Amino acid sequence: MAINNFPWENRPDNCKDVMWRSSQNPIIGRYATAISNSIFNSAVVPFGDGYAGVFRCDDKAVRMNIFVGFSHDGINWAISDTPIKFEPGNTDMIHSDYKYDPRVTWIDDRYWITWCNGYNGPTIGIGYTFDFKTFYQCENAFLPFNRNGVLFPKKIDGRFAMLSRPSDNGHTPFGDIFISYSPDMKYWGEHRCVMKVAPFEESAWQCLKIGAGSIPILTDEGWLMFYHGVIATCNGYRYSMGAAILDRDDPSKVLWRTRDYILAPAAPYELAGDVPNVVFPCAAITEGNRVAVYYGAADTTVCMAFGHIDEIIQFIKTHSL
């Protein structure tokens, strides 16, 4: 089904890259809500005749929380000034010290949300909604410490599947991507390593840690997943975006992953902000062969990049590790 209001810009004539930035970046500025210090690392899905999203807004006390937003065109957003309030879902234990870096996907009959949930340190929080009005919070997926929990948009072998990145309580100087399965969204197991960092001689931008980014997209070649990779420079961490293709039936198998990054901090709004040099993908929407990726820039704003799925797959295969 063609989406009339799919957010899209054609590749600029002078651009030779596999993906290109929106000319409207940043599409969401740091002060887009009454209380925000920054809005970034946020998730977007088609909803009704437009789009809905769950946004990470840090407030002016720099408290991290997630907020609902709506848009007709995927570019202009109305984001709530008050954080999402969750009702008990599959548990009464919905304690949360903070929430950040949400992802959203439709599975079966509802929208599922994952985020980094503060419960004695960061771990993966899970919630769901049918309408983006009432939200339910479930048991955390894992023990602390974990980040970057990203669900697959459909069950695999009858079970929910989630990528995640075990971590520590700080600015984790390590990290690989794992997959876990659940029959019921409550109990998670069969943890398998999917992808490790790359040797710095071969692909330095992803040599310190990697984390799943957008909800994987099912293509003819397997699951296309945008992820972030990090290098520790003499001046701090630098976050770039790569992509991988995981086996359709066993997504713990990486078929190809990029050696070359697809998008790295280069635009002024990626180079400067509360945390300089961060490109952090959290969502991707598609329409036919077109993909629009939403990414956080410099932990300050929300930006978009566009590409053609067949060209991205070709790029991953021809520039793979």
Check binding of 301 to ligand BMA (CB under 6 A): no
- Cβ distance 155 to 221 under 8 Å? no
HEC states along 174-215?
A: CCCEEEEEECCCCCCEEEEEEECCCCHHHHHHHCCEEEECCC
Contact with ligand BMA (CB under 6 A): which of 100, 142, 205, 223? 100
Structure token digits, residue 306: 């566009």
Q: Could you give the C-alpha distances from 26 to 78, 271, 303, in angstroms and in order?
A: 15, 13, 5
Measured from the CB atom, the residue of 60 and 171 that comes closer to ligand BMA is 171
Residue of the chain from 83, 166, 216, 296 that contacts ligand BMA (CB under 6 A): 296
Closest CA to 104 of 96, 94, 114, 95: 114
Residue 295, interface with ligand BMA (CB under 6 A)? no
**Shortest distance in whole angstroms from residue 40 CB to ligand BMA:** 7
Of the residues 33, 36, 38, 41, which one makes contact with ligand BMA according to CB under 6 A:
41
> What DSSP string describes 220-231?
TTEEEEEEEEEE
Residue 226, interface with ligand BMA (CB under 6 A)? Answer: no
Residues 183-202 that bind ligand BMA (CB under 6 A): none
Q: Report in angstroms the alpha-carbon separations of 289 from 254, 294, 311.
A: 22, 17, 9
Enumerate residues 247-276 that contact ligand BMA by CB under 6 A: 275
Nearer to ligand BMA, 283 or 316 (CB): 283
The site for ligand BMA, by CB under 6 A, has a size of 10
| Residue 278 contacts ligand BMA per CB under 6 A | yes
65 and 35 in contact (C-beta within 8 Å)?
no
Q: Report, in Å, the least distance between residue 112 CB and ligand BMA.
A: 20
Q: Which residues bind ligand BMA (CB under 6 A)?
A: 41, 100-101, 171, 239, 275, 278, 280, 296, 299
